Structure 1
Amino acid sequence: MAAFGLESLPIDTNVFNLFVAGALGMLLGLEREWSNKSAGIRTFTLTSLLGVAAAIVGGPVLLATGGLLVLVQGVLLGARGLLAEATSPVRSVDSAATDDSVHSTATDDSVHSTATEDAADEGGSLALTTSTSLLVAYAVGVLVGTDYVLVGVVIAITSSFLLVLRRELHAFANRLSHREVRSAAEFAIIAFVVYPLLPAGTYGPWNAIEPRLIWMLVIAVSGIGFANYALMQRYGGRGMLVTGFLGGLVNSTAVIGEIANRAKTNVDTFGLAVATILIADAAMAVRNLVIVVAFVPQSAFGVGLPLGLIAVGGLLLTGYERTWRGEMELDLDSPFSSANALTFGLLFLVVLVVTAGAQQIFGTAGFLVTSFLSGLLSSGTTTTTAVSLASTGQVSPAVAAQGVLAGTLASILVKVWLAVGINRDLFRPVVLRSAYLSLLGLVGVLGVQVL
């Protein structure tokens, strides 16, 4: 009750929990009812009410008995769905897809006349989804009954979301290659297995190395790239603006190399190449800004204005090109692997120590010069280094923001060199527009100092 600010209401806590559990059970059962499953709104609501009642009365025996009853019911429903699959003709994919548009008025606990959608869609494996959802509904009721209301709400909403998006999730999973699935597993290992094993505290020269923070930044950078790779796989074919931006978050160098090569062999894509480079710069600025805001929020304003201007400027210049409506397909590999993560981590560690030493020996000027030079290799490395040094107190948030901007400007310069190295005809338009973006970043720095 206190978590929702309702402790002053004249409502008994147990009564309130009963209403919350019933509402969450109805939410979970709504999608099952709409999909014509064997258990719907009534069954799920009663199951959640059973859980909250068992929790309110208390006693491990009663809780275990209620859970066992729900488990048995779930097993029976799962067996029922599998039996329906075995005794009913298999529907075609097209007819199965119509279940979402043609909804019958069958009652809560009745069996669908054409067998369950679960069995038709996934060979019976999804028949277990309803059974598992019943256990979730019971657990949600128990959590609410023991005053873990917020936890129960989050679990119920998340579970309902997964049920509603089941087709999209299955389609996404089926499009993944073995390498991409392996990358996801490796990412889970470095995020949830390696990180807890690292020691806390600062170590090494100038106490600049904080293992847990370094690894968390590696996870953050890898996660941003992997998430945007997944988005690009799903939405990347919908135009240059989407593909270029998401591809820039994954691997801006690969994006620019691809489009510059295409412009070299096809003059019709020349304007598209310029626009893609601009949108990749905007994506880089957004990524760096997200990392800073997430880990050093006190630097948000100092870095937000310059990087925000670069991102907005890149988008506006892209629109000015009037060629971003062209199509561009990118064949990028998954950006994450354990080898890539270790490589980035080692590079980050070297840059971190060198930058910390430059700051200690030469002051702010040494830090900024080193940040610019490391930005020539990777603006992501520069950003994570500045964040790490600000978190350990080596530099102030304001100086860290300046270092992030220095690395970002250096990365813009590298993109110019890369594009021109592939296609010399891109020199004038790319240099001119990149200068505009750099100028916007500097204006942002001046604006921060004035404000």
Structure 2
Amino acid sequence: MDSLIPQLGLALAIGLLVGLERGWRERETPDGGRTAGIRTYGIAGLLGGIVAALAVSLNAPSVLIAGFLGFTAVFAWYKARESVHDQNYSVTGVVAALSVFALGALSVVGDHRAAAAAGTALAAVLASRDLLHGLLRRISWIELRSALVLAVMTAIILPLLPSRAIDPWGGFNPQQVWLFTVLTAAISFLGYIAVRAFGTTRGALVSGLAGAVISSTAVTVALARSAKTGANPWPLAGAATLAATVSTIRVTAIVAIVAPSVLGVAGLAILAAIGGFTLCGILFLSRHAISGEGTQLPRNPFELGPLALFAVLFAVVSTVSAAFSVGSSSGMVATSAITGTFDVDVAVLSALRLLGQPATVEAVGHAVLIALTTNALGRLSVAAVAGPVRFWLPLAGATAVAVALGYAAFAMLPHFEWPGPPAVMGSSS
């Protein structure tokens, strides 16, 4: 009895919470002009709890089933009359009331914490009607498809993959490879959503910084082409330099999520390089204002083709790195240097994948720094091919400053132990 009282109180609270949102939305309706308000929803939750308690006391689940069906019939009948009068075809109120009754029952016979969380989520979803409807009006089919693909990748494909290494060296774990692929896709998608939220028509700077979340190399090529058409190269070089900053921050975020212990080795060097890129970028931008519409960002947060290529490349690099790292970490560092030239995410994630067995934190930290360095040099190479000297020369100076500051910080400042577990995920033997 003592435990039943707070459970019934929770059932009532869930109904009142949902009823508060429903009643506020229809607050202008005269009394008696609507089927349910704050009181009715509150009573519905309490009724669900009472019926569930009776079912437990009588050891008769049929009581709960009959109560739910009876409540559904009565509420739906009244709601149907209201819909005919108002010419409203929305069924949200009925579904909300049935959910309140069910959550009230769950509060008594199930997990009360799950019931409380679900009731809060229900009220939040109901209150977000305008936001969600506005989002549906603004979202494109490509963006919706990308979100669905990401959901399928995470909820369906990931659990089906084997969670053990299937190669002799312990480098190719399909589930871990796909997890890192999903992580990269999610970061790209979130960056794309940020671009959509803040707009992309503020010139090359905003476009470059936002586009670097997806691909700093692509942004650099676009800016180099703009400089080649006669635009002022200094601010474009500044935008490309700050895009390199964003790319480095993105990689640092991946390291912090997957293996935060590596930041104890490489964190200060990366921070120094970020500072160098940022200062040089600001200096270049101060020489002249950016004009024009800027670069065009990718229309899709991630394409299936490049994403599949990323997964294959990541699997190959992980396997090769593991094979070369048997008995020595120099092979992993060499692989990171080569791969980082054209895809820093693959290089860094492949190195992080080997943390613990066989690679040490120190070796993985070296591999991450090498991958960032070669990626910066690769980005500079495409800038030199696609743009004029006045564009890539300032970018080369900024790259040299960032690399020099990063090396100085790595060589002169002490490494430290990062608090917490050494890695989120390591190899399995």
User: Which deviations, in whole Å up to 9, do the C-alpha atoms of 1:26-74 show, x marking residues without a partner?
Assistant: 3333332222174433233223323333444435223323433453356
- Please give the alpha-carbon distance, in whole angstroms, between the structure 2 residues aligned to 1:22 and 1:179: 43
CA deviation digits over 1:72-94, x for unaligned, max 9? 356446645643553xxxxxxxx
Whether the 8 Å CA contact 1:236–1:246 is kept in 2: the answer is no
What is the identity, as a one-letter code, of the residue corresponding to 1:72?
Answer: A
Distance 1:314 1:70 in 2: 64
- Distance in 2 (alpha carbons) for counterparts of 1:204 and 1:149: 45
Instruction: Check 1:172–1:360 CA distance in 2 against 1; reply closer, same or farther (3 A cut).
Output: same
SS in structure 1 of the partner of residue 150 of structure 2: helix
The letter for the 1-side match of 2:305 is A
Matched, 1:222 2:185: yes
1:330 aligns with 2:322: no
Distance 1:316 1:148, change over 3 A: farther
CA RMSD of aligned residues (A): 3.1
Read off the aligned partner of 1:274 and give its amino acid letter.
A
1:14 Cα deviation after fit: 3.2
- TM-score normalised by the chain length of structure 2: 0.81
Q: Is the 8 A contact 2:234 2:391 kept in 1?
A: no
1:435 is matched with which residue?
400
Say whether 1:207 aligns with 2:170. Answer: yes
Unaligned runs of 5+ in 1: 1-10, 87-118
Matched residue, 1:151:
114
Match of 1:93 in 2: none
Other structure's SS at 1:360 match = coil
**Higher relative contact order, chain-length normalized (CA < 8 Å, sep 6+):** 2
Answer whether contact 1:257 1:418 (CA < 8 A) is retained: yes
Does residue 374 (structure 1) correspond to residue 339 (structure 2)? The answer is yes
SS in 1 for 2:200: helix
Measured at CA, do residues 418 and 182 of structure 1 come closer, stay the same or move farther in structure 2, by a change above 3 Å?
A: same
Asked if the contact 1:50–1:141 (Cα under 8 Å) also holds between the matched residues in 2, the reply is yes
Unaligned runs of at least 5 residues, structure 2: 28-33, 418-429
Q: Residues of 1 paired with 2:322 and 2:211: CA distance?
A: 32
Deviations 1:332-353 (CA, angstroms, capped at 9, x unpaired): 1213344333211111011112
Match of 1:53 among 33, 50, 53: 50
What residue is the counterpart of 1:42 in the other structure? 39
SS at match of 1:205: coil
**2:275 and 2:402 in contact (8 A); partners too:** no
- Per-residue CA deviation, residues 349-381 of structure 1 (Å, 9 max, x unaligned), is 1111221222226x2222212111111121110
AA aligned to 1:36 is E
Are the structure 2 counterparts of residues 367 and 152 from structure 1 closer, same or farther at C-alpha, using a change threshold of 3 Å?
Answer: same
Change (3 A) 1:365 1:177: same
**How many residue pairs align between the two structures?**
400
Q: Percent identity?
A: 25
What is residue 68 of structure 2 aligned with on the other side?
Answer: 67
For the residues of structure 2 that align with 1:311 and 1:173, how far apart are their CA atoms? 37
Q: Taking structure 1 as reference, are residues 35 and 345 closer, same or farther at Cα in structure 2, changes over 3 Å only?
A: same
CA distance in 2, matches of 1:355, 1:179: 35
- Residue pairs, 1:343-422, within 5 angstroms: 343-360=309-326, 363-390=328-355, 393-422=357-386
Q: Per-residue CA shift, 1:107-161, capped at 9, x if unaligned?
A: xxxxxxxxxxxx5xxxx4xx22232222333343333334623323332333333
Report the more deviating stretch, 344-353 or 163-172. Answer: 163-172
After superposition, what is the alpha-carbon deviation per residue over 1:194-223, rounded to whole angstroms, capped at 9, x for unaligned? 222212221213121111111111111112
- Matches of 1:273 and 1:26 in 2, distance apart? 56
Which amino acid is the alignment partner of residue 218 of structure 1?
A: T
Any idea what SS the aligned residue of 2:325 has? helix
